Amino acid sequence: MKVKLSDAGLVTQIGSGNNMEAETELFCRMAPRMISPGKS
């Protein structure tokens, strides 16, 4: 996305309609948090 938003801002964008860029950005940010080495 061109504008830097917080995670909460991205969720707002996703909730407001069909915003695939916001969904992609949030997924890219969250994936490393969910798949952290050494955490189970």
Per-residue model confidence as pLDDT tens for the chain (40 residues): 566 889 999 999 999 998 999 999 999 988 887 776 665 5
Q: Could you tell me if residue 16 is inside a domain?
A: yes
pLDDT in the model for residue 16: 92
Q: Could you tell me if residue 40 is inside a domain?
A: no
Q: What are the helix (H) ranges across 1-40?
A: 7-15, 20-34
pTM for the structure as a whole = 0.64
Q: Could you tell me if residue 6 is inside a domain?
A: yes
Determine the 3-state secondary structure of 18 from DSSP: coil
The answer to whether 34 touches 13, Cβ cutoff 8 Å, is no
Q: Could you tell me if residue 25 is inside a domain?
A: yes
Domain count, the chain: 1
The token pair that represents 34 in the structure block = 């969910």
Tell me the residue range of the domain where 5 lies: 1-32
The whole-angstrom separation of Cα 14 and Cα 38 is 31
pLDDT in the model for residue 23: 92
pLDDT in the model for residue 20: 92
Q: Could you tell me if residue 15 is inside a domain?
A: yes
pLDDT in the model for residue 14: 92
